[in-house]
Amino acid sequence: MPFKELLVVSGKGGTGKTTLAGALVEIYRRSNHGVIAVDADVDAANLALILNTESVDDENEFIGGERALVDEQNCTGCGECLKHCRFEALISVNGVVEVDEIACVGCRVCRQVCPAGAIEMRPNIAGRWFCAVGDGYELVHAELGIAQSNSGKLVARVRREARRRAEEADTPLIVIDGPPGIGCPVHAAMAGVDLVLAVTEPSPSGLHDLQRLLETARHFSRPVAVILNKAGLGYGGGRELEALIEEHQAPLLARLPFDRAVPAALARGEGLSAVPGFVERVAALRLAVDELLA
Ligand code: SF4
Ligand code: SF4
């Protein structure tokens, strides 16, 4: 059975994207509808917290590019490599050349100019990705290493693993908690998905982010629908929102009201289903999503 991929995005943090992605995973899981959750926010993954996923069953290194490695035994201290490294990633300490792993981009120039053949390239461990099996769902998530810049590739890696698992276990749905922004990681998360759920909030920045997300979805020719979260909070902006979703022909699937009980439930480690009135709203949202995915 072919699986479907649903991506939940919001542009910026704090909009309720992960809470909603978690609530959708939860409602599918409860109805025994096979689901794989993917946390594609590899810089600050927290879907495992929302889902209360306790164990990690599989941990893997994510190799992103290469880094230079100086063999002290063969290095003559001639300084050629230091002259040619444009990234100032090599330093000489008492005549011994060392590599700054954060500054090195793996361009290999130093290796080419070293007359003593003292520089090798080694794989760069840019992060880790994990798999966990929860109660009625699987979770694939990842952690990008400090100062690493391969987040788009790591997003693609976790998506690939989720797809592999979906095919292997005949799981019908993958729910992806998307990365923030609209850059490379979002492109990696959005490519080829069956539906993009753009979560917004009633604020000027929320509308601005929504516009950029809708344009990105249009660029990738992906079907998109909108969820207005925290409806009724402050800034109206109703007309602008309606004009925007009309322009992009994106259905408004849900208006979820602002409710102080939501952050209180999250602080207790509970999801949206613990908040009175939200179980029904998420159930209605799920039906609307199912219709669009059918
Ligand atoms: S691989 Fe490139 S960036 Fe890294 S130390 Fe060598 S010259 Fe510098
Ligand atoms: S070019 Fe090679 S031999 Fe010269 S300082 Fe650098 S690593 Fe050492």
**19-71 per-position pLDDT tens digit:** 999 999 999 999 989 999 999 999 888 899 889 887 778 899 999 899 999 99
> What is the residue with the minimal CA distance to atom 2 of ligand 2?
114
Q: How far is the CA of 197 from the centre of ligand 1 (A)?
A: 41
pLDDT of residue 236: 61
Ligand 1 within 6 A of CB of 114: no
Clarify whether residues 228 and 280 are in a common domain. yes
234 part of a folded domain: yes
Q: How far is CA 44 from CA 20, 27, 160, 180, 216, in A?
A: 16, 24, 19, 10, 22
Q: How far is the CA of 122 from the centre of ligand 2 (A)?
A: 17
Q: How far is the CA of 106 from the centre of ligand 1 (A)?
A: 5
Global pTM value: 0.89
200 part of a folded domain: yes
The ligand 2 site (C-beta within 6 Å) comprises 70, 75-81, 97, 114, 116, 118-119
pLDDT of residue 92: 92
Q: How far is the CA of 148 from the centre of ligand 2 (A)?
A: 26
CATH at 285: 3.40.50.300
Clarify whether residues 155 and 40 are in a common domain. yes
259 part of a folded domain: yes
138 part of a folded domain: yes
Clarify whether residues 256 and 178 are in a common domain. yes
Clarify whether residues 142 and 117 are in a common domain. no
CATH at 87: 3.30.70.20
Strands 58-70 and 119-133: what pairing? antiparallel
228, 201 in Cβ contact below 8 A? yes
207 part of a folded domain: yes
58 part of a folded domain: no
Clarify whether residues 229 and 174 are in a common domain. yes
17 part of a folded domain: yes
Q: 71 is in which domain, residue-wise? A: 65-125
Residue 207 pLDDT > 70: yes
Clarify whether residues 192 and 238 are in a common domain. yes
pLDDT of residue 286: 95
Q: Which of the ligands is closest to the CA of residue 113?
A: 2
Point out the domain boundary residue: 125, 148, 177.
125
pLDDT of residue 91: 95
Clarify whether residues 173 and 256 are in a common domain. yes
Point out the domain boundary residue: 77, 97, 125.
125
Clarify whether residues 77 and 8 are in a common domain. no
Least confident interval from 79-93, 98-112, 206-220, 252-266? 252-266
Clarify whether residues 38 and 90 are in a common domain. no
In tens, the pLDDT along 100-142 reads 999 999 999 999 999 999 999 999 999 999 999 988 999 999 9
Clarify whether residues 172 and 208 are in a common domain. yes
Residue 93 pLDDT > 90: no
Clarify whether residues 204 and 279 are in a common domain. yes
pLDDT of residue 237: 61
59 part of a folded domain: no
Point out the domain boundary residue: 125, 143, 165.
125
Clarify whether residues 42 and 72 are in a common domain. no
Q: Which of the ligands is closest to the CA of residue 76?
A: 2
Ligand 1 within 6 A of CB of 107: yes
Q: How confident is the model at residue 230 (pLDDT cuts 50, 70, 90)?
A: confident
How many independent structural domains does the chain possess? Answer: 2
Q: Which of the ligands is closest to the CA of residue 99?
A: 1
> What is the residue with the minimal CA distance to atom 3 of ligand 2?
75
pLDDT of residue 235: 65
Tokens 């995005």 found at: 9
